[in-house]
Amino acid sequence: MVKLRAKCLLLGDAAVGKSSLSHIFYNDGSLFQKNYSLTTGVELVMKCINIPETNDSVELYILDTAGKETLAEGCEKMWGEPSLLCLVFDLTSEQSFANCTCWMERVQAHCKGLRVPGVLVGNKSDLSARREVQASVAEEWAQSKGLEYHETSAKEMVNCDAPLLSLAQSFYSLYQEQREIMQNLGPG
Amino acid sequence: MIDSSGAHVVLASSSDENHPPENITDGNNKTFWMSTGMFPQEFIIRFPETTNISTVTMDSYNIKHLKIERNTSPNAANFEPVTQEEIEQTEGHLQLNSISLKGCRATHLRFIVTEGYDHFVSVHRISVKT
Ligand SMILES: Nc1nc2c(ncn2[C@@H]2O[C@H](COP(=O)(O)OP(=O)(O)O)[C@@H](O)[C@H]2O)c(=O)[nH]1
Ligand SMILES: [Mg+2]
């Protein structure tokens, strides 16, 4: 049994639904802690994800960055070295999808050569009549960046656990891979 | 004299049941302690008595930046810095480090890994030359 720990950045434009999503993680009745710092504009939610068919789990420390541009500089200092990325856009806003490219560039500077698995989340899937971003387009962009694509509705609580499970599983795979290497190291 | 007998780990910031911190001081570099994600990571080694340490030898993997602190207290508290090291990346074999502590006196040594080449680091063996 092992419990891994990962720092997960929740990124994306203002009003795409980041806080709504993190509040669902917070409200679903499992063990968590919550913390909000007004000075930094960063909210921390802890969520423990069990890896299916094992006794192992991953504790995700999810940092919800305030989308307001004025606070963004301060937030970047809090990013540190992330373990995982959750990039969110609004399916009814083409602009929020286009801006994902900038978010990726900004965060890459913090990854310092580490492989940081991530997901792309198209939120507000309940507003299907107002959809501006097609799943196939988002899917293709996600693939080109090595991200897994998910669509959610924080409002109707549809599919909200899928991105987290996918992130936890990616981190668990990295752990297994490194452990395998460590077990077979030469003497140097 | 090279000695890891009697020294043992009294605290580690993370632990994997299959790769516990005891593996650091068991004298065997096939067994290891593995971190479980995020930095910094740390562990504290206690010596049976206050000891003058000339060199620390550490076999590790994926460690990029390491700080060492010491105290001469019976408790694992009130540490002061001794040295820090930038460690080179290796692939497929252990990082073999020999770190001079210049005869400093210590009852506890605290090892803080502030950066890694991967999300996970391992320490396979630590011994000290007195
Ligand atoms: N219809 C709909 N509205 C949503 C959804 N998620 C969030 N919202 C609304 O979008 C607005 C912004 O959400 P918020 O979580 O504060 O966005 P943030 O700035 O990214 O944290 C709020 O009015 C939410 O109620 C969703 O899935 N569907
Ligand atoms: Mg918000």
Which residue in B93, B119, B120 is closest to A185 by CB distance? B93
Q: What are phi and psi of A94, to 5 degrees?
A: -55, -40
Q: Which of A49-53, B15-19, B70-74, B92-96 has the lowest mean pLDDT?
A: B15-19
The DSSP call for residue B84 is E
CA of A24 to the centre of ligand 2 (A): 13
Domain residue extents for chain B: 2-129
Q: Which of A5-19, A62-76, A156-170, B48-62 has the lowest mean pLDDT?
A: A62-76
CA of A64 to the centre of ligand 2 (A): 7
pLDDT bin (cut points 50, 70, 90) of residue A26 is: low
Question: Which of A20, A71, A157 best tests ligand 1's pocket when mutated (most atoms within 8 Å of CB)?
Answer: A20
Contacts of B88 in chain A (CB under 8 A): none
Q: What does the pLDDT read at residue B1?
A: 43
Asked if residue B108 lies in contact with residue B70, where contact means CB atoms within 8 angstroms, the answer is: yes
Contacts of A188 in chain B (CB under 8 A): 59, 90, 93-96
The reply to whether A4 touches chain B by the CB within 8 Å rule is yes
Residue A147 has pLDDT above 70, yes or no: yes
Give the bridge partners for B34, in sequence order.
B122
The reply to whether A176 touches chain B by the CB within 8 Å rule is no
Q: What does the pLDDT read at residue A113?
A: 80
Q: What does the pLDDT read at residue A187?
A: 76
Residue B18's nearest CA partner among A28, A117, A183 is A183
pLDDT bin (cut points 50, 70, 90) of residue A140 is: very high
Contacts of A112 in chain B (CB under 8 A): 115
Which residue in B38, B93, B95 is closest to A5 by CB distance? B38
Q: CA–CA distance from A79 to each of A72, A154, A155 (Å)?
A: 11, 24, 27
pLDDT bin (cut points 50, 70, 90) of residue A46 is: confident
- Any long-range contacts for A136-145 (C-beta under 8 Å, 24+ apart)? A137/A97, A138/A89, A138/A97, A141/A97, A141/A100, A145/A104, A145/A118, A145/A120
Interface ipTM = 0.92
pLDDT bin (cut points 50, 70, 90) of residue A41 is: low
The minimum-distance atom of ligand 1 relative to the CA of A158 is: 27
Beta carbon pairs, A and B, within 8 Å: 72
**One-letter amino acid for residue A135 of the chain:** A
Q: Which of A10-24, B20-34, B84-98 has the lowest mean pLDDT?
A: A10-24
Residues of A numbered 57-86 whose beta carbons fall under 8 angstroms of chain B's beta carbons: which are they? Answer: 58, 61, 81, 83
CA distance A116 to A83: 6
**DSSP H/E element including B44:** strand B41-61
Residue A73 has pLDDT above 60, yes or no: no
Contacts of B96 in chain A (CB under 8 A): 188
Asked if residue A91 lies in contact with residue A132, where contact means CB atoms within 8 angstroms, the answer is: yes
Q: Which residue of A has its CA nearest to B30?
A: A183
Ligand 1 contacts (CB < 6 A) are A 12, 14-20, 67, 123-124, 126-127, 153-155
Q: What does the pLDDT read at residue A74?
A: 56
The reply to whether A187 touches chain B by the CB within 8 Å rule is yes
The pLDDT of A18-27, averaged and rounded, is 81
Q: What does the pLDDT read at residue A68?
A: 55
pLDDT bin (cut points 50, 70, 90) of residue A31 is: very low
**Which domains are delineated in chain A?**
3-172 (3.40.50.300)
Asked if residue B117 lies in contact with residue B89, where contact means CB atoms within 8 angstroms, the answer is: yes
The reply to whether A3 touches chain B by the CB within 8 Å rule is yes
Higher pLDDT, A79 or A181: A181
Higher pLDDT, A179 or A22: A179
Q: What does the pLDDT read at residue A186?
A: 79
Distance from chain centroid for Cα A61: 10
pTM of the complete model: 0.91
Q: What does the pLDDT read at residue B15?
A: 80
Give the bridge partners for A175, in sequence order.
none
Asked if residue A108 lies in contact with residue A78, where contact means CB atoms within 8 angstroms, the answer is: no
Residue B20 has pLDDT above 50, yes or no: yes
CATH 2.40.50.100 holds for B2-129: no
The pLDDT of B89-115, averaged and rounded, is 95
Q: Which of A75-89, B18-32, B69-83 has the lowest mean pLDDT?
A: A75-89
Higher pLDDT, A110 or A141: A141
Residue A85 has pLDDT above 50, yes or no: yes
